A and B are shown apart, each in its own frame.
Chain A
Amino acid sequence: MKSSDEQLELVARYLDGQATPNEISRLEALMLEDPQLRADFLRYARVDAALPGATGGLQKLVGIETRNDPTQRHFAWMALAAAAVLVVLLGVLGLIIMHDTPPEELSALEIEDKGVAVVARAVGTKWKGASLLPDDSVAPGRWDLLEGIVELEFYSGASVILEAPAVLEVHSQNAGTLHYGKLRAHVPVQAQGFTIRTREVELVDLGTEFAMEVTPETGTAVHVLDGKVELFAPGQRADKGNELTGGQGRLVAPNGTHSTIDANPERFVSREELAQRVRELRNFTYQRWHFASNQLRKDPRLLAYYNFRPVIGSERILPNLSQNPYRGLDGAIVGAEWKWGRWRDLKKSLDFKSASDRVIIEVPGSAASVTLAVWVRLDQLNRPYNMLLASQEWNRLGAVHWRIQKRGVLELQVHNGLSQQQYTSSAPLVMQTGDFHRWMSLVAVYDGERGVVSQYRNGALLGISRLKKVVPVTIDTAEIANWTGSGKGSRQIRSFNGRFGELMIFDEALSAKEISELHRTGDKYDLKNSDD
């Protein structure tokens, strides 16, 4: 640094957020004149910016959110930061942190449910802005459905089938406004009083089933399919309403004039039709996956491939489907049971519930790079560490642990002889309420050539971190969904709670594009073909 002490102190004050407006103006004036000061300033800023990564052992990772909700974005980051504070404080106090023992549990996943409804079923949906999948909770707000059909179950018990294009504003567990499009509502006794507003009317349900269609040109059409509703002019609930019963209908024009129409159930998708569409979608996406899975088996990069379908007569074996003939790759199932999978009864999955459940495999050889990919359904994160795949013998170079931390972090560890912080690659994994019990794909790429680990969820990048030291990966004897080490302090329970539907181990680093394709061919919600 060649600039004067006084100038450099000014730089420090600026970067520490301590400089007064006058000082900042002075620094600016000096820098505009002095290229040396600018160079020193940038150098100083680089040191300052690199220090969090270089000191705390916190990975420099790119946190990229996969969901649209901006309030959730900093979530995992906060958890990471809080954990780091704790670790440093413990260190300052001189406490010994036991190897591989997590800091006090941070409840990053106890997210409050702001919803007033839940997505029960969806077919071919596309949303504008924030999107919803089955099991997602629906917060009050405006939901803009561009394509497809969705069924929302309000917490009051009322259910609404919405057909695209439609805009529904959800107000509470018993009320909403239909700005545009078609809906069909089922209202049980418990939810009587369920209210839908439009620009022209306010409809209060007095029991069972009605439908509505709103366009800017024709206004609001109300079809009472069964039971009784009461219609009011908007905001005029105090007045006497207009009662309609099953079979009756009203068209309320934008100018407020009423005309009588016949209720027409054919115009609106019924629950039975929706159920049929859901079955068709399931068949379609299952067939697509089945075809892709058969193709995938021929991939020479696959060290091991499990698609989790039992062989009749050998139900306690998890057969390996890759081209590698090594017998140890066939997994021995311990405890876990076969249950319905991603496509319900069409494909099985293995359910890991008890703390002892696991599958033992033996993966021969070493590889400079590996890609681990799974389809899992996480039911609960009830352990500090929830294992996806773990080498049984841990204290050796190249051993692998891939796990989910309860506080919302996906971690790939490849033992490289350094400290835990230096062999752990982390990426934020935010689980919202609807994400539990839902199938998701997770991928970890250990790229030995570039010295980089990247992790993905549902085909989208979660984070990248740089490896401090690269060693070849040797998985050897490993456990799927569990790990019981033999060393001191390793008796802690690390079992995974949920289902496995697929596991792939490649001996190469897959590209981001391949990973996103792998996700799409296995995604039961995505109607589109991977070629378009």
Chain B
Amino acid sequence: MDAFDRNKHDQFLQLYVENEESLRGFVRSLVPTLEDAREVMQQTASILWRKFDELDSQENFRPWAFGVARFEALSFRRDRARDRHFFSSELMSLLEAEAALAGEESSNEERALEQCLRKLPRGQRSLVESAYVPGVRIDELAKEAGRTPMSLYKALHRIRMALADCIGEWLKRDQEEGMA
């Protein structure tokens, strides 16, 4: 076994972790629910790991990974969700290309998101925490909280918008500080 081979396996971890965040976002954009995204993501990760040996060069990891993710999302929609409506493959390819490009900016988003979550008012924060537990159902959560599902979806939308804006601000500031 040569040194190249040894490195190859080791590098998977690094490459995967580097690209995980944007890959997850991309997968999320292709399937209708977070649960679906989790499943497709797990399948994708598993395939990337198994087929990593076949990848000829590290530079190709990112486009390759996005391709695998798109393919997995497609087969998910074929196997699991025949009756549901999805985007056309034309739009999916566009999103794939653009998601793969957006990598640079998205790599710091996770750190920013943590900062931004801390700034949320307590009530919003606990709502988002309850709503994003894997497997939780919004209609049940709404019932417990004595609200309508619609009002909960709207509240979550406002929170995500606020978080997205906050992340944008944070990244801009981070970049400016980096340049100063």
Q: How far is the CB of B166 from chain A (nearest CB, A)?
A: 10
Q: 0/1 per residue, B17-48, Cβ < 8 Å to A?
A: 10011101111110011100110001001100
Q: 0/1 per residue, A42-62, Cβ < 8 Å to B?
A: 111111111111111010101
Which residues, 1 to 26 on A, are CB-close (under 8 Å) to B? 1, 8-9, 12-19, 21, 24-25
Determine which of A1, A18, A91, A513 lies in contact with B1 in the assembled complex, contact meaning CB atoms within 8 Å. Answer: A513
Q: Which residues of B contact A516 (CB under 8 A)?
A: 9
Whether A17 pairs with B33 at a CB distance below 8 angstroms is yes
Q: Which residues of A contact B146 (CB under 8 A)?
A: none
Whether A38 pairs with B164 at a CB distance below 8 angstroms is no
Q: How far is the CB of A334 from chain B (nearest CB, A)?
A: 37
CB within 8 Å for A450 and B28 given contacts A24-B87, A62-B45, A64-B49: no
Whether B85 pairs with A42 at a CB distance below 8 angstroms is no
B180 interfacial by beta-carbon distance below 8 Å:
no
A513 to B21, CA, bound (A): 25
Residue of B nearest to A58 (CB): B134
Q: 0/1 per residue, A116-140, Cβ < 8 Å to B?
A: 0000000000000000000000000
B179 interfacial by beta-carbon distance below 8 Å:
no
Q: 0/1 per residue, A420-459, Cβ < 8 Å to B?
A: 0000000000000000000000000001001010100000
Q: Which residues of A contact B136 (CB under 8 A)?
A: 85
CB within 8 Å for A85 and B133 given contacts A25-B85, A512-B10: yes
Whether B49 pairs with A50 at a CB distance below 8 angstroms is no
A512 to B52, CA, bound (A): 12
Q: Which residues of A contact B164 (CB under 8 A)?
A: 1, 43-44, 47
Whether A513 pairs with B133 at a CB distance below 8 angstroms is no
Whether B134 pairs with A512 at a CB distance below 8 angstroms is no
Q: Which of the segments B54-62, B70-78, B88-96 contacts the partner chain? A: B88-96
Residue of A nearest to B29 (CB): A45
Whether B21 pairs with A52 at a CB distance below 8 angstroms is no
Determine which of A45, A65, A80, A92 lies in contact with B26 in the assembled complex, contact meaning CB atoms within 8 Å. Answer: A45
Q: Which residues of B contact A85 (CB under 8 A)?
A: 133-136
Determine which of B91, B106, B161, B168 lies in contact with A28 in the assembled complex, contact meaning CB atoms within 8 Å. Answer: B91
CB within 8 Å for A84 and B10 given contacts A12-B157, A28-B87, A47-B167: no
Q: 0/1 per residue, A513-524, Cβ < 8 Å to B?
A: 110110000000
B175 interfacial by beta-carbon distance below 8 Å:
no
A310 interfacial by beta-carbon distance below 8 Å:
no
A496 interfacial by beta-carbon distance below 8 Å:
no
CB within 8 Å for A50 and B109 given contacts A58-B134, A62-B45, A64-B49: yes
Q: How far is the CB of A18 from chain B (nearest CB, A)?
A: 6
B113 interfacial by beta-carbon distance below 8 Å:
yes
A407 interfacial by beta-carbon distance below 8 Å:
no
Whether A51 pairs with B128 at a CB distance below 8 angstroms is yes
A12 to B164, CA, bound (A): 13
Whether A54 pairs with B133 at a CB distance below 8 angstroms is no
CB within 8 Å for A464 and B29 given contacts A47-B167, A85-B136: no
A107 interfacial by beta-carbon distance below 8 Å:
no
A165 to B70, CA, bound (A): 39
B160 interfacial by beta-carbon distance below 8 Å:
yes
Q: Which residues of A contact B9 (CB under 8 A)?
A: 511-513, 516
Q: 0/1 per residue, B150-167, Cβ < 8 Å to A?
A: 000100110011011101
Count of B interface residues, CB-CB < 8 Å: 68
Q: How far is the CB of A393 from chain B (nearest CB, A)?
A: 29
Which residues, 218 to 274 on A, are CB-close (under 8 Å) to B? none
Whether A49 pairs with B25 at a CB distance below 8 angstroms is yes
A41 interfacial by beta-carbon distance below 8 Å:
yes
CB within 8 Å for A42 and B135 given contacts A17-B32, A52-B34: no
A39 interfacial by beta-carbon distance below 8 Å:
yes
Count of A interface residues, CB-CB < 8 Å: 66
B104 interfacial by beta-carbon distance below 8 Å:
no
Determine which of A16, A64, A511 lies in contact with B156 in the assembled complex, contact meaning CB atoms within 8 Å. Answer: A16
Q: 0/1 per residue, B120-132, Cβ < 8 Å to A?
A: 0000011011101
A31 interfacial by beta-carbon distance below 8 Å:
yes
Q: How far is the CB of B7 from chain A (nearest CB, A)?
A: 8
Determine which of B21, B28, B95, B129 lies in contact with A48 in the assembled complex, contact meaning CB atoms within 8 Å. Answer: B28
Whether A47 pairs with B160 at a CB distance below 8 angstroms is yes
Whether A16 pairs with B153 at a CB distance below 8 angstroms is yes
Q: Which residues of A contact B133 (CB under 8 A)?
A: 52, 56, 81, 84-85, 88
CB within 8 Å for A514 and B160 given contacts A54-B117, A450-B14, A466-B17: no
A31 to B45, CA, bound (A): 28
A85 to B6, CA, bound (A): 40
Q: Which residues of B contact A47 (CB under 8 A)?
A: 25, 109, 113, 160, 163-164, 167
Residue of B nearest to A463 (CB): B45
A513 to B42, CA, bound (A): 22
A10 to B23, CA, bound (A): 22
Whether B160 pairs with A44 at a CB distance below 8 angstroms is yes
CB within 8 Å for A42 and B29 given contacts A452-B17, A464-B17, A511-B6: yes
Q: Which residues of A contact B109 (CB under 8 A)?
A: 46-47, 50
Whether A450 pairs with B13 at a CB distance below 8 angstroms is yes
A19 to B126, CA, bound (A): 25
CB within 8 Å for A56 and B95 given contacts A65-B46, A513-B9: no
B174 interfacial by beta-carbon distance below 8 Å:
no
Q: Which residues of B contact A28 (CB under 8 A)?
A: 87-88, 91
A41 to B6, CA, bound (A): 39
Q: How far is the CB of B104 from chain A (nearest CB, A)?
A: 13
Can you list 30 A-B pairs with a CB-CB distance of less than 8 A? A12-B153, A15-B32, A16-B33, A17-B33, A32-B94, A35-B98, A41-B95, A42-B98, A43-B164, A44-B164, A45-B29, A47-B160, A49-B24, A49-B37, A50-B21, A50-B113, A51-B113, A52-B34, A55-B128, A56-B132, A63-B46, A64-B45, A65-B46, A84-B134, A85-B135, A92-B130, A464-B17, A511-B9, A513-B8, A513-B9
Could you tell me which B residues sit within 8 Å of A by CB distance? 1, 5-10, 12-14, 16-17, 20-22, 24-29, 32-34, 37-38, 42, 45-46, 49, 85-88, 90-91, 94-95, 98-99, 102, 106, 109-110, 113-114, 117, 125-126, 128-130, 132-136, 138, 153, 156-157, 160-161, 163-165, 167-168
- List the 3 shortest-distance A-B pairs measured between CB atoms, nearest first: A46-B25, A49-B28, A511-B10
